[in-house]
Structure 1
Amino acid sequence: MEAQQIKRTTAKSRGFYVKMKLLQQQNGKHGRPHEKSCFFRYYKWLLWLSLTLYFFSPYLLTTTTTTTTNDDDSKNDNKNNINPTFLSKTRVVSSSKSTFASRALIESTASDSRLQQPLHDQEGVLSLSKDLKIYVYELPPEYNADWLNNERCSNHLFASEVAIHRALLTSDVRTFDPYEADFFFVPVYVSCNFSTVNGFPAIGHARSLLSSAVQLISSDYPFWNRSLGSDHVFVASHDFGACFHTMENVAIADGIPGFLKRSIILQTFGVQGKHPCQDVENVLIPPYVSPESVRTTLERAPANGRRDIFAFFRGKMEVHPKNVSGRFYSKRVRTAIWRKYGGDRKFYLQRHRFAGYQSEIVRSVFCLCPLGWAPWSPRLVESVVLGCVPVIIADDIRLPFPEAVRWPEISLTVAERDVGKLGMILEHVAATNLTAIQKNLMDPFVRRALLFNNQIEQGDATWQVLSALAIKLNRSYIRSRDSTQ
């Protein structure tokens, strides 16, 4: 018992000795505190913290924002009580989500070098192979030239069929020797005929006209029969593309003409997932917008670049949508926009045609691009080239030239079901990442990629088409023949 007490006493004595020794070391040789010890410790920690921030700040700025976006944005949403939708970059998806996702396009960060540079470097553009050769069939005028008697044929939203043909005629990729051609372009205009009653394209003649053209080239030339048309290219620049009808239910019922199912279709219609009207080798192209009209509008735009319209839409908006063939126009989306925001001063909504409506786009911050009968609209192109942020309201839409145009960085996508929350969504974007989106819209490469010119310019829409075809060179008869020899 005494031995245990001695051990505890000795342990306490040693502990007391160690404590006193440490105090002496801290206070100095004679037990007096160092006068500069507190300042020294503060300076040491401050220096360490400064060096740490200096060396690791670039990493923190770039990595933290991308790896913790979902968590941080969820917290931000809870603070702001914003639950119905979320932004993924500039994409707003279904209301089943409840957080705002990536801030990759936040309002302004001088440290983010991506926003200080153009989205695209011309050196990085897919160079067209000098070996790419396209033969353009010279068809009788009833297949193309005669249709140009209608002045709208070469200027309306479906006019890419004319513009691509014209550009190929003077292109360096054109060959006059069909035996060296990789692809064969069949210039049949099917969207030039407009009914005078309602202004909609009447393309009931399309299937018979195309069938006649195929019969002609297959009887006069050997190239269609040797590949069964797999290296032949057609344009379908209207609502439902290769199905060649303007109403989706009829287009699906009719399907793609059998004689075209092996060919390549350049079409404006595109959706995510399977659809009977895109069940063919295809290249998605933008609708036609006249480059001349764009240049004229930009020249007449306000010199100060001021945009005094917050949200803009001009087009068909039915107050009481009529059921046509079992379907409602725009799936009632446009009607919902009109009913919800028709009296909102921030929304400039017009239901009637106006020839100079591009002058309204160039004054607008956000341009609404809701679906019509088909998901796509010429407003997609007009908004981008005139610097207005396109607000895409068309579920599952597939957009043209995604390798050249980074759509998530220049546009907003709002789910059809969330159109009633449009005002809140646009206000949120205006308060957060609008500046970054507008800066991306100013990239001249983006504008160029969506416009068709009469003569091909590097990076323009026809250039993008040729780039897509260059990727499909395995469909070329001469390439596949040479590879097997």
Structure 2
Amino acid sequence: MAVFLEKPMVKRNSKIAWPHLVGSYVNDEKKLFHDRDAFLDNYKEMNRSLKIYVYPHGRDDPFANVLLPVDFEPEGNYASESYFKKVLTKSHFITKDPSEANLFFLPFSIARLRHDPRVGIDGIQDFIRDYIFNISHQYSYWNRTGGADHFYVACHSIGRSAMDKAVEVKLNAIQVVCSSSYYLSSYVAHKDASLPQIWPRQGDPTNLARERTKLAFFAGSMNSPVREKLLQVWRNDAEISVHFGHLKTSYAEELLASKFCLHVKGFEVNTARIGDALYYGCVPLIIANHYDLPFQDILNWQSFSVVVATLDIPLLKKILKGISIEDYLVLQRNVLKAREHFQWHLSPVDHDAFYMVMYELWLRRSSLRFSA
């Protein structure tokens, strides 16, 4: 389901107007889940029956650093990839019996390959090609489905080109990735899933309930035409605060003081800003066309965010000021509810980021079973 669609303008009394401006950006139902009861029922079944087989590798493997979970607590902008693998391998979803597996996990780490001097950015494609060749000759599982019941996880944007020499992975396997843009030929909507890019943080901010005096906030690098347009239109505005380069005030303080926090496409669509906004109780304002939002099969993003097309940048203030106080309060209440789904824990907690990714995999598992 694509959520970023260019919004048509219509003429009204010979003037250009946006039809039902507020209703277009605030969901009338105001519910966090598309169908909470269905989710909870299926979640229980997933927790009970989903089984995943991880291709085995020992600590004596020459690329153990790439194939095994990290032995430290993940951190940084691309921590989601490492968190998922670290938690998965210790979870009750793992089976040592491939005959009972619903899905097969390809445990290579794109982020670790990127920093391995034996591989590096230029060697990732060859590594993945050779890895698929090896497991398809050593085991029978890949060949039964052409990889359709296999998946891998990657958060760094380099992952979007990592499969160029392993086309069967790109076309058949489930790709759980942060770079979930429809403009990327490597991402296949409905087959693949969006991984939330989350900067790990401990505990909660102490002042989430504070009064928010700023309308909107963005800080980031000037690395895309979309951000250039944002700066061009709003750089001198008193209510929409746009910063490029070094931020003089605390990033956390700016997020806590703002009603809406902007997520704007840079080199890639994926950034940790949505997770940042949710963590600090700020309603995400998402400006990017045609990409899958994390957990959008489960969560109703219109209930806790404002999603606009890039063409809407000159209309941002009109859109935001068209949202009533009542509707804003509903959005923020749902932000506070949604926060739990965008947090990683080394010991997973029901409905946290790990379990939500597992549920997305459950929705995409093959309904066909094959005999060994």
* TM-score, length of structure 1 as denominator length: 0.62
Cα contact 2:262–2:285 (8 A) shared by 1? yes
Q: Which residue is 2:90 aligned to?
A: 170
Q: Which residue is 2:305 aligned to?
A: 411
Distance 1:457 1:342, change over 3 A: same
Which structure would you say has the larger RCO, counting Cα contacts within 8 Å and 6 or more residues apart?
A: 2
How far apart are the structure 2 equivalents of 1:119 and 1:307?
31
Q: Which residue is 2:7 aligned to?
A: none
Cα contact 2:55–2:105 (8 A) shared by 1? yes
Q: Which residue is 1:83 aligned to?
A: 17
- In the TM superposition, residue 358 of structure 1 has moved relative to its aligned partner by 3.1
Q: Which has the higher helix share?
A: 1
From 367, 371, 377, the equivalent of 2:271 is 377
Distance 1:188 1:342, change over 3 A: same
Q: Which residue is 2:356 aligned to?
A: 464
RMSD: 3.6
Distance 1:123 1:117, change over 3 A: closer
How far apart are the structure 1 equivalents of 2:177 and 2:89?
20
- In the TM superposition, residue 379 of structure 1 has moved relative to its aligned partner by 0.9
Distance 1:87 1:193, change over 3 A: farther
**Which stretch shifts more, 389-398 or 304-313?**
304-313
**Which stretch shifts more, 406-415 or 174-183?**
174-183
Matches within 5 A, 1:49-448: 83-84=17-18, 87=21, 89=23, 91=25, 104=28, 120=36, 123-124=40-41, 126-127=43-44, 128-139=46-57, 140=61, 142=63, 144=65, 154-192=74-112, 203-239=121-157, 241-244=159-162, 255=164, 257-260=166-169, 261-271=171-181, 276-279=185-188, 281-292=191-202, 295-296=203-204, 298-299=205-206, 301=207, 305-317=210-222, 329-330=223-224, 332-353=225-246, 357-429=251-323, 433-443=327-337, 446-448=338-340
- In the TM superposition, residue 350 of structure 1 has moved relative to its aligned partner by 2.2
Cα contact 1:242–1:256 (8 A) shared by 2? no
- In the TM superposition, residue 386 of structure 1 has moved relative to its aligned partner by 2.1
Distance 1:147 1:314, change over 3 A: farther
How far apart are the structure 1 equivalents of 2:105 and 2:94?
10
Q: Say how many residue pairs are matched.
A: 349
Deviation per residue, 1:151-198 (Å, 9 max, x gap):
9x9323322221111111111111122333222212111124678xxx
Distance 1:85 1:344, change over 3 A: farther
Cα contact 2:261–2:284 (8 A) shared by 1? yes
Cα contact 1:239–1:268 (8 A) shared by 2? yes
Unpaired runs of 5+ residues, structure 2, are: 1-9
How far apart are the structure 2 equivalents of 1:289 and 1:85?
37
The amino acid across from 1:342 in the alignment is R
Which has the larger Rg?
1
Distance 1:147 1:339, change over 3 A: farther
Cα contact 1:163–1:452 (8 A) shared by 2? yes
Distance 1:288 1:162, change over 3 A: same
Distance 1:276 1:469, change over 3 A: same
Distance 1:358 1:430, change over 3 A: farther
Secondary structure, in 3 states, of the residue corresponding to 2:322?
Answer: helix
Cα contact 1:150–1:192 (8 A) shared by 2? no
- In the TM superposition, residue 217 of structure 1 has moved relative to its aligned partner by 2.5
How far apart are the structure 2 equivalents of 1:405 and 1:399?
9
- In the TM superposition, residue 466 of structure 1 has moved relative to its aligned partner by 1.9
Distance 1:395 1:116, change over 3 A: closer
How far apart are the structure 2 equivalents of 1:147 and 1:472?
24
Distance 1:418 1:455, change over 3 A: same
- In the TM superposition, residue 432 of structure 1 has moved relative to its aligned partner by 6.1
Share of identical aligned residues, percent?
Answer: 24
Confirm or deny that 1:452 pairs with 2:357: no
